[in-house]
């Protein structure tokens, strides 16, 4: 799984303060720490930045590229700022993002094509449909034709099925898995797929976030996920992704994760008979799967039920 580090984003108080003060050190430390943790690329989210967007994006890109040499995923709704960042990027950049909203679909893909950038495409219009088939229809009927029209090949497209929090919106969780599966099956060539992994654990107690993210990652990888915007320093997510990618069954948890992976890939449910419910880690994985599949209602204390 290609991992894009998520931490350089304007909603962070540290990042926002560094931008306001043009202080390089906090931004550069976040960049170095994430790359050292294994991030393949870095998210650079400056928000709308309506007045000083180009200046801010140029400063951010230059600041980060002084200390690391990885692709940058540029995230802003300010098109002038996006273009300023694309001009400065030393490696092939990723544009985050377009959707089927008419204005975004008109303006963003030509910009990505102009600079030979990869493009994240959100499977939504004005709203996010719950059902996988409706998200796939947006991809096939609106997004893909427009991207082909401007000359962006499918191997440069990262189709995002849109992850929403399991806390209060868990009905979306299994549908995102199915969206990825369908996109991989019905497109030739299929697009790459990407998710914002940490979105699924928004609102989840801190002690359970990594468990929810990593379990969901296994399920998404089984459906064909290629990339994710993640907490690069999440060791559980990193290790569980490695286990399923390398088919490492050397531990009991590894065996369970591979069973989950294979069951999800075959569109089957995880058999409770293979789970040792006396093992706290295995029991936690099983209960998390049940929540992510929308089989039991999420509550903050679901692991104790």
CA distance 135 to 142: 10
Q: Which two tokens stand for residue 152?
A: 């962006």
Query: What is the pLDDT, as a whole number, of residue 186?
Result: 86
CA distance 50 to 89: 21
DSSP 8-state symbol, 69: -
Contact 151, 274 (CB under 8 A): no
Q: For the chain, 305 residues long, give each residue's pLDDT as a single digit of tens.
A: 999 999 999 999 999 999 999 999 999 999 999 999 999 999 999 999 888 999 999 999 999 999 999 999 999 999 999 999 999 999 999 999 999 999 999 999 999 999 999 999 999 999 999 999 999 999 999 999 999 999 999 999 999 999 999 999 999 999 999 999 999 998 888 999 999 999 999 999 999 999 999 999 999 999 999 999 999 999 999 999 999 999 999 999 999 999 999 999 999 999 999 999 999 999 999 999 999 999 999 999 999 98
Nearest-10 Cα torsion for 74, 60, 2, 134: -20
pTM above 0.85, yes or no: yes
Q: Which two tokens stand for residue 299?
A: 């509550």
Show the domains of the chain with their CATH numbers: 2-231 (3.20.20.20)
Query: What is the pLDDT, as a whole number, of residue 274?
Result: 96
CA distance 20 to 300: 36
Nearest-10 Cα torsion for 121, 3, 173, 202: -100
Burial of 157 (0-12, 13-18, 19+ CB in 10 A): buried
CA distance 177 to 204: 20
Q: Which DSSP string corresponds to 212-239?
A: HHHHHHHHHHHHT--EEEE-TT-HHHHH
Q: Radius of gyration over alpha carbons of the chain, in Å?
A: 19
**Nearest Cα to Cα of residue 5 among 80, 64, 76, 90:** 64
Residue 266 has a CB neighbour count (10 Å cut-off) of: 9
CA–CA distances in Å: residue 6 to residues 36, 81, 87, 126: 14, 19, 22, 24
CA distance 102 to 125: 8
Strand segments, DSSP code E, in the chain are: 2-5, 41-45, 72-75, 94-98, 118-122, 157-160, 192-196, 227-230
CA distance 92 to 107: 19
Residue with tokens 């801190």: 206
């Amino acid at each position: 799984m290609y991992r894009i580090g998520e931490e350089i984003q304007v909603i962070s108080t540290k990042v926002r303060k560094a931008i306001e003060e043009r202080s390089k050190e906090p931004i550069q430390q976040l960049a170095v720490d994430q790359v050292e943790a294994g991030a393949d690329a870095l998210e650079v989210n400056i928000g709308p930045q309506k007045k000083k967007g180009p200046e801010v994006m140029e400063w951010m890109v230059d600041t980060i590229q002084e200390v690391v040499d990885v692709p940058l995923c540029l995230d802003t709704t300010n098109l002038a700022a996006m273009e300023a960042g694309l001009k400065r990027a030393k490696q092939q950049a990723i544009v985050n993002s377009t959707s089927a909203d008419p204005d975004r679909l008109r303006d963003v893909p030509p910009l990505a094509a102009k600079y030979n950038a990869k493009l994240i495409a959100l499977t939504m219009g004005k709203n996010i449909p719950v059902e996988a088939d409706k998200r796939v229809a947006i991809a096939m009927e609106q997004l893909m034709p427009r991207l082909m029209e401007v000359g962006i090949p499918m191997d440069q497209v990262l189709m995002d099925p849109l992850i929403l929090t399991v806390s209060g919106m868990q009905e979306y969780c299994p549908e995102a898995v199915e969206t990825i599966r369908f996109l991989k099956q019905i497109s030739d060539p299929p697009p790459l797929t990407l998710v914002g992994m940490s979105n699924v654990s928004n609102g989840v107690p801190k002690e359970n976030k990594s468990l929810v993210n990593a379990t969901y990652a296994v399920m998404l990888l089984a459906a064909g996920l290629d990339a994710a915007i993640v907490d690069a320093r999440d060791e559980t997510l990193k290790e569980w992704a490695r286990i399923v990618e390398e088919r490492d069954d050397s531990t009991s948890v590894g065996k369970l994760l591979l069973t989950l992976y294979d069951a999800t890939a075959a569109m089957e449910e995880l058999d409770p008979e293979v789970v040792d419910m006396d093992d706290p880690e295995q029991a936690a994985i099983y209960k998390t799967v049940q929540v992510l599949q929308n089989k039991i209602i999420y509550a903050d204390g679901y692991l104790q039920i």
